[in-house]
Structure 1
Amino acid sequence: MRGLRHRIAVNAERLVRSLETRPGRRVAESVSAEILPLAEACRFLEREAAGLLAPRRLGRRGRPLWLFGVEAEVRREPVGAVLIVGPSNYPLLLPGVQAVQALAAGNRVLVKPAPGCGAPMVLLGEWLEEAGLPPGLFRVLDESAGAVAEAIAAGIDKLVLTGSADTGRAVAEQLARHLVPSTMELSGNDAVFVLPGAEVEQVARALAFGLRLNGSATCIAPRRVFVPRGMAAGLEDALVRQAAAIPQVPVPLPTRRRVATLARDAVAEGARALGNVPEDEDPAMTPLILADARPGMALLREEIFAPVLSLVPVHDMEEALEAAAQSPYALGASVFGPVAQARELAGRIDAGTVTINDLIVPTADPRLPFGGRHASGWGVTRGAEGLLEMTQVKTVSVRRGRLRPHFDAPRESDDALMLAALRLFHGGPGTRTGALRRMLRAVRGRSRN
């Protein structure tokens, strides 16, 4: 891991060039959003992987009394061949972290990049071998859609996918036929909760950052903003000012068409468009903000990889929580406002990750697991929990001494003995004294027989 990390740092410019398929990216954004977090993930594994993967011996504490003489340990072993299906929005960071975690856990790794996104993974493979990884343990598959099905049919032991909910469903069906487990990081339509007392200008800056970062093609970019009615107009004005400085970003035609349809439907249902609804002839989009949106609108229930944001006025946070729950996605969420109230609200939000008074960036902490709920997937990647997901559990128990009473043939006194033992170990204070007497009688009777 150290050798790979050093090569990532020394050859960062090569990685930046390999990421040129991402439209409108500056060098600083590629470094901060993908390359630096990947290097940090490698450092995390250098420091923590050995300890996390080491066998864990269980002491006497918590061991049932009737298992006296038994020593136990829990081991973490590789699952085998791990297929990683990468996305197009972060073609280095997301499959890269998953790959190094799988390798650190002792697995063989296959990576299927998104179309046009294989270059970063090829570089990663070269540097892994230079750093000492034996040949054949990391392989980059071709970018065709059929590569996933071919790999599953050939035999894999686990799949990790980052992609849309529709892709996740289709791949999960294939995996089910082969009984192959998976970790799925799927779509999002992230909610932002604005508490009374939040700094409106700071919230607007944060939302503008979410619209700007990576062309807003981020699974945890803000899409639904729940704001108290008395603060809505101020946030709307501040957000329009901040969004005016965001440049256009190329958006694929099918996405633009879908956004246009959803936006027009929302306007027809009472929302106000603060910006231009995209047209077919425009290859790029400026941020589109819809005010006075309502949670039942389709725009707030679908995954969108484009700079679109809906402002939903609410009476209070109870209404906001109920409104947020109408979306099938539960990947991430953010809360802005006084920290104590924000922490309390965070505990009630149904999402895999919650940031307070920030957006997106804190999730790059290599110590943190990342994953969604409901239509946003299952399992986690990254952090200690993500590393352990690349393993399978084995328990080993060792019996010391020669005493093995359970090997003996059943005796009549065993019924009384077992009932007395149960009440002695787990009965209330009023039953234990009597249970102890009955247990001693049963043991004496068993000895005589």
Structure 2
Amino acid sequence: MSTVTTFNPATEKAIQSYDVMTEKQATERLEACHRAFLEWRELTHQERAPYLRKIGQKLRDNADELAALMTNETGKLLKDGRGEVELCAALFDYAAENGPGELADEERAQGLNGKRGVVSYQPIGVIYSIQPWNFPIYQPVRVLAANLMAGNGCVLKHASICTGSGLRLRELCIEAGLPEDLFQVIVIDHDTSDKLIAHPKVRGVTLTGSDGAGRHVGAVAAKALKKTVLELGSNDAYLVLEDADIETAVKFSVMGRLYNNGETCISAKRFIVTDKVYDAFVEAFVAQMQNITMGDPTDKNTQLGPLSSQDQFDTVKEQVDASVAKGAKILCGGEVPDRTGAYYPSTVLAELAPGMPAYDDEIFGPVASIIRARDDEDAMRLANESRYGLGGGIFSKDEERAVNLARDYFDTGMIRINSFGAADPNMPFGGVKNSGYGREHGGFGMKEFVNVKSIFLP
């Protein structure tokens, strides 16, 4: 029987090994989840809500333990792990509070004859959730909370490097009173995963990952006529317009590039800076980036921890090296420290052009790409040239104009004005183009995997 082993990326020491399940074992878990769903769906939304609230409280009660586990498995800063746990608890609270209203039956008039109609949002079954390692608790929770409220069951295939986090999340859900089989965590390989997608008891598939993974999973699911929600990679552009406040732009640009060690789909990655403020922004931005404290992710003074694994370190290094080989200029960073652990320094690249990884692709690490724009219009054009469209940002003193640009012209799913932040329970999360489709949070995720029924009354 094959195994997967988790490693601490800061120390390179092994944490724990787990047996990889056979197709038969994984299928048994899936079928058990379906049986639990048949009972869970009988509860009303109001009856499901207390379960979610108890899970949220259980997460808060174990926040320190969960944060330490995530730090050990992925290298994220301990303080970021605590913040992640609180966000997860807030997502359960949000679903419990808002789900009964969002999913309530709606009475409508039939437009042709004036008779009555009812629109009902009914659960469909087992949702198969394939999640990455960068937010070991949040990624599965944003699927789980919404779908438990909708009445569905959930089977999680987590990234192997944070297997322990996925399994502990399930234990805490059960401790909080959730039926034991309703949320399953399986440790399987990609071939078994593809077979589960096609299993008749799987009614929907959701993936967070790269656009390459999205193409594969989307194709396998489409062949089986399964609905998917795909939240894929991005190369988010933050525009520094001609009237930007440089201090504000630099503050949130550094924060946006280094949050979660730079391993975030909605990180600020491309900084498209107008010619008028280019020199001022670059000078201040580089000054802050080169003074970042990198080190032990459990130390409260550390600002940048290691990347999640040696494989991730190798990928980031190769992307930077390839960009430099094609003419990119390193303004700071780029030199790998001689130390144990998957540490990559905060790095700023400039003089970028199409064809370089730092221009075209997502770099999942603390590497900032600076691109010069002629003016505001050119900045927006460059931002939208990307094949991705998840998030982005605009720095401008004219908030009304920035909102208009964000709404009417920025071809992404989420835009920050003069700020940076991660997810919010009350705002939809998702993107366009190669960043995927579908929405989570803000009530939208609770309706992605339901049967929207039209009931016509006489």
For the superposition of Structure 1 and Structure 2, which TM-score range results when normalised by the shorter chain?
A: 0.7 to 0.9
Structure of greater relative contact order (alpha carbons < 8 Å, 6+ residues apart): 2
Q: Distance in 2 between matches of 1:85 and 1:199?
A: 40
Q: Aligned pair 1:166/2:216, yes or no?
A: no
For this pair of structures, how many residues does the alignment match? Answer: 391
**Which residues in structure 2 correspond to 1:37-436 (within 5 Å)?**
37-59=87-109, 63-64=111-112, 67-68=113-114, 70-155=115-200, 156-248=202-294, 249-251=305-307, 252-267=309-324, 270-278=327-335, 283-295=342-354, 297-338=356-397, 339-347=399-407, 348-361=409-422, 364-399=423-458
CA positional deviation for 1:17:
2.7
CA positional deviation for 1:146:
3.6
Helix, strand or coil at the partner of 1:304:
coil
CA positional deviation for 1:220:
0.8
Q: Alpha carbon RMSD of aligned pairs, Å?
A: 2.1
Q: 1:286-314 deviations in whole A, cap 9, x for unaligned?
A: 11111232356442211211111111111
Q: Distance in 2 between matches of 1:271 and 1:110?
A: 44
Q: Distance in 1 between matches of 2:387 and 2:156?
A: 29
The verdict on how the C-alpha distance between 1:12 and 1:267 changes in structure 2, with shifts beyond 3 A counting, is: closer
Helix, strand or coil at the partner of 2:160:
coil
Tell which deviates more after alignment, 342-351 or 265-274.
Answer: 265-274
CA positional deviation for 1:396:
0.1
The verdict on how the C-alpha distance between 1:261 and 1:109 changes in structure 2, with shifts beyond 3 A counting, is: closer
The verdict on how the C-alpha distance between 1:45 and 1:117 changes in structure 2, with shifts beyond 3 A counting, is: same
The verdict on how the C-alpha distance between 1:6 and 1:257 changes in structure 2, with shifts beyond 3 A counting, is: closer
The verdict on how the C-alpha distance between 1:116 and 1:265 changes in structure 2, with shifts beyond 3 A counting, is: closer
Tell which deviates more after alignment, 115-124 or 177-186.
Answer: 115-124
CA positional deviation for 1:157:
0.4
Q: Aligned pair 1:16/2:67, yes or no?
A: yes
Tell which deviates more after alignment, 254-263 or 1-10.
Answer: 254-263
CA positional deviation for 1:131:
3.2
**Amino acid in the other structure paired with 1:366:** P
Task: Tell me if the contact between 2:150 and 2:446 (Cα under 8 Å) persists in the aligned partners.
Answer: yes
Q: 1:135-161 deviations in whole A, cap 9, x for unaligned?
A: 321111115334422322333100110
Q: Distance in 1 between matches of 2:145 and 2:209?
A: 19
Task: Tell me if the contact between 1:74 and 1:395 (Cα under 8 Å) persists in the aligned partners.
Answer: yes
**Amino acid in the other structure paired with 2:420:** L
Q: Distance in 2 between matches of 1:125 and 1:189?
A: 32
**Amino acid in the other structure paired with 1:160:** T
Identify unmatched segments of 5+ residues in structure 2.
1-51, 295-304
TM-score (norm 2): 0.80
Tell which deviates more after alignment, 126-135 or 77-86.
Answer: 126-135
Task: Determine the structure 2 residue equivalent to 1:445.
Answer: none
Q: Distance in 1 between matches of 2:138 and 2:313?
A: 26
Tell which deviates more after alignment, 281-290 or 76-85.
Answer: 281-290
Q: Distance in 1 between matches of 2:234 and 2:343?
A: 22
Q: 1:369-417 deviations in whole A, cap 9, x for unaligned?
A: 1111111111111221111112121100011xxxxxxxxxxxxxxxxxx
Task: Tell me if the contact between 1:71 and 1:397 (Cα under 8 Å) persists in the aligned partners.
Answer: yes
TM-score (norm 1): 0.82
Helix, strand or coil at the partner of 1:157:
strand
Task: Determine the structure 1 residue equivalent to 2:41.
Answer: none
- Percent identical residues: 29
Larger gyration radius, structure 1 or structure 2: 1
Task: Tell me if the contact between 2:337 and 2:343 (Cα under 8 Å) persists in the aligned partners.
Answer: no
The verdict on how the C-alpha distance between 1:116 and 1:350 changes in structure 2, with shifts beyond 3 A counting, is: same
Q: Distance in 2 between matches of 1:154 and 1:207?
A: 44
Q: Distance in 2 between matches of 1:270 and 1:152?
A: 43
Q: Distance in 2 between matches of 1:271 and 1:79?
A: 50
Task: Tell me if the contact between 2:238 and 2:271 (Cα under 8 Å) persists in the aligned partners.
Answer: yes
The verdict on how the C-alpha distance between 1:14 and 1:143 changes in structure 2, with shifts beyond 3 A counting, is: farther
Identify unmatched segments of 5+ residues in structure 1.
400-449
